[in-house]
Amino acid sequence: MNKASINLAIDNTPFDTKKSIYEIQTESILELLEKAGLQTKDIDGIATNGVERFSSVGISEFLGITPQWSESSFLGGSSYLTFVKRAIEAIELGICNVVVVSYGSNQRSARSRSIGGVIESHTPQSKFEYSQGVLSPISLYSLVAQRAFFEWGINSEDLAEIAISARKYALLNENAFMYNTEELTVEEVIKSEIISSPLHKLDCCLVTDGGGAVLVTNDNISKSLNLPRIKVKGFSQLETHMSFSQMPNYLITGASKTSNDALSKAGMLLSDIDMLQVYDSFTITVLSTLVSMGVGEPREIIEKFKSGNFFINGELPINTSGGGLSYCHPGMLGLLLIIEGVKQLTGDLGDRQVKNNQTALIHGTGGVFSTHSSMVLERV
């Protein structure tokens, strides 16, 4: 059986461009192939979504390729972790040999995102939840935050520490939207306007253009091209609900099961992980995810953000790119979480490089904590 690995990752963060989704994705893919020493004709597998109704078919035609394998399922922010895992499975089954997993969005320049979100009128949640004036997803994440304030005894000042950490990382990342800015303070976060109480503007992810691409090949090809190899040592995914009212637990999410399952399959403990890249659509997303993953109790986690334990070369670096809060959020962040993990494990990222790193745990979240994917990466 063929063995497969992730080899290279490229992010493409134009932030506010007049380019189409096709152009953003194609630029990422061509740069990725050039760096790898491959051509478009070498691609025999493609995974993407958010391009058009038949996303993988459309991008394949645009590239002039006829892949033997494709994937374009839509699971929101957890989609791209599942794409990478399924690409590896396809390669190891001998279906294909060179897969490109790509994403691109022009939501900022196209002004295609509204504060009310996407509401499909035929769905149960539209009739029984959104009809009450809900802004999706922010109003629902705000309800989670309100619950956390009540059950965990935290407040807006505590959540602000997560935004502050993200900004510190972004100031080290030349590709970050907030690179040429300044460090945040708690006061600045809580004085930014309320979007949906208790979440402020700076508790919310960015709205940007952007995207990227990841290369997955069989090990014979990666060795012949002298490419780095990052192994997926463990993976797990879970779907828990669609309607917010059906969420099993408003604070402990499906990340609890998927992260534990992925670590177990990798034969590792959380203490074996050198860094975390977790979805940060909102500051509360990060806190609920970390508590669910067993990183610590809520108050303990907040204190570690304050003390720098989650910053570069601290106890456990988290979201080293600056994340969706300060780096880039083009609609779905999942692929960019993988890209940052791969870059950290393969490259020299200067001041934000995590030293002596060997492993990373990536977690993607879709919907309102609706879908979850966890992936353990290891450099070999």
Per-residue confidence in pLDDT tens, the chain, 380 aa: 689 999 999 999 888 778 999 999 999 999 999 999 999 999 999 999 999 999 999 999 999 999 999 999 999 999 999 999 999 999 999 999 999 999 999 999 888 776 766 778 888 888 888 887 888 899 999 999 999 999 999 999 999 999 999 999 999 999 999 999 999 999 999 999 999 999 999 999 999 999 999 999 999 999 999 999 999 999 999 999 999 999 999 999 999 999 999 999 999 999 999 999 999 999 999 999 999 999 999 999 999 999 999 999 899 999 999 999 999 999 999 999 999 999 999 988 999 999 999 999 999 999 999 999 999 999 99
- CB neighbour class for 122 (10 Å; exposed up to 12, middle 13-18, buried from 19): exposed
pTM (predicted TM-score):
0.96
Burial 147-180 (b: 16+ CB within 10 A, else e): ebbeebebebebbbbbbbbbbbbbbbbebbbbee
Q: Answer whether 241's CB lies under 8 Å from 370's CB.
A: yes
Strand partners, 376: 234, 361
Q: How far apart are CA 357 and CA 147, in angstroms?
A: 36
Structure tokens at 158: 């505590």
- In sequence order, what are the residues at sequence separation of 6 or more whose Cβ sits closer than 8 angstroms to the Cβ of residue 260? 236, 293, 294
Structure tokens at 6: 């992730």
Topology annotation, domain 4-110+208-224:
Peroxisomal Thiolase; Chain A, domain 1 (3.40.47)
Torsion 321-252-125-47 (CA) sign: positive
Amino acid at 357: N
